[in-house]
Structure 1
Amino acid sequence: MRTRLGKVFVYAALLAWTLVVVAPLFWMVTTSFKNPPDVFLGPRFLPGVDFAPTARWWVRIFTVERDTLLRPLANSLIIAGTSAVVATVLGALAAYALTRFQFKFGPMKNENILFWIVSQRIMPPIVVVFAVFLMFRVTRLLDTHIGLILVYIAFNIPLAVWIMSNFLAQIPRSVEEAATVDGASPATAFFRVVLPMVTPSLSATFLICFVFAWNEFLFSLILSFARTQTMPLLIAAQHFQRGPQWWDISALSTLAVLPPIVITVALQKYFVKGLTLVGK
């Protein structure tokens, strides 16, 4: 009886959490198909029942505002994709070193070094954004792709190291020793033997880093201007420039969540497996 009640509680909690997550997304998508009066006349949920759906905002995005949309969309894909790939690779290399070799810097050992690396992710971005702005102004990295990519790499590496170190620690050293006996160098053993074994964790790490970079707002607001404007800035501009036009904002927001969703679906098998293995 207690087990059955426990299952009922778990399923009820999962259902409630699903509603909490899905309800804002459903509201956003339906708002993108509403006329302005339907937005301001109170809750209207069902298209064709509570309101007459229209695609005029989507048509305007891909016609009138197409040129305005394409640059921020391309910027976000380039910046988030590149930073996620580099952070994942560097995180895997650092995690491999921390799980295979013993380091000591004064009283600090591998566990302390890993904690220090991960603790950098706890630091609020607002603490360093002004210093980064001054450095980028001197080095002429303001409003450049490479500038934002470097910032996102720096903030995503701690997360990548943490995820990859948990996974690499589970791979026995005997795998690399066997490859070494067969004549492989340590680098060859890592790239040709170890990395293929951690593909699920690499996929999970890449996806998490990509989503963080894709959704980031503060650094892109301070460090970029018109040339490297990203999707979060474009969406925010719909409010700042013309007032709260929620139908336009909702259409752009719906479009902005599509790339992460597509990547998540494509990597779903590896993502779930990677997080499962990390949690063991």
Structure 2
Amino acid sequence: MKSVFTFSASREFLRTYIESLPKKGWGEIQRWADHLGVQTSYVSQVLSGMKNFNVEYSVRLAKYIGLSGLELDYFVLLTEKERAGTVEAQEYFDEKLQRLKKDSRNIADRVTKDKTLSEEEKAEFYSSWIYSAIRLYCSIGSGKTLFQISEHFGITKEACSTILHFLVQSGLCAQKGDKYLMGVQKTHVDKKSAHVRRHWLNWHIQALSRLETVDESELIYSAPFSISKKDFESLQEELTAFIADFVKKVQKTEPQQVAFLNIDLLRLKEP
């Protein structure tokens, strides 16, 4: 599916979008009509060029199919241009559309190797495991489309679009055409940060949710034990060295799947 920025007519984009869906988008027009609260015949007339969506319907439909940020702005401007009654008005919208196209290319090329997130960005990114999971999923292959991400994680396109908008704006992902790629190569939260607890909890909850479905290709292990202080320190050093090697290996690997590793080496505190 091509990016909305490659289209000069909203209905052309919508028809192409439907064609790109599984089963050629069978039933999608009905779902759009239900979401907008209109008759299917009205949506069909818009797609055929007999009618145009008003601003309210344009915004609502764009969000429903997962457009956000500049994509949303561009789509709505397309529909406004199509409703314009004079050449002067159409030229006005053309200028705004061209500026949005230029802005979209600048954002798509903004891929950095590393970046320090602001406190606000950290608060959102570490608020849920889904942000990190989607970011890592986008590192697989040549990137992922909104539809692929939505289907893979079982979330609505609107919710997925909101997350992707944040990831792109913060530099954690980048958008090229209709695909999203991983941007920043690594993120790290300092052990003294207030976000450590949430980050730790996010992935331990995921491990807990997987307990009943762990297969033979995966590993889960817990072991309470008693140990000398000297051997405890030695074990800590070995695990620290392992983590350093693990990070290097992950950075060099060819991504094919998303996984996670939880390691805890803790002393049992006396009550």
Range of TM-score over shorter length? under 0.3
> Which structure's relative contact order is higher, taking Cα pairs within 8 Å and 6+ residues apart?
1
Greater helix fraction, Structure 1 or Structure 2: 1
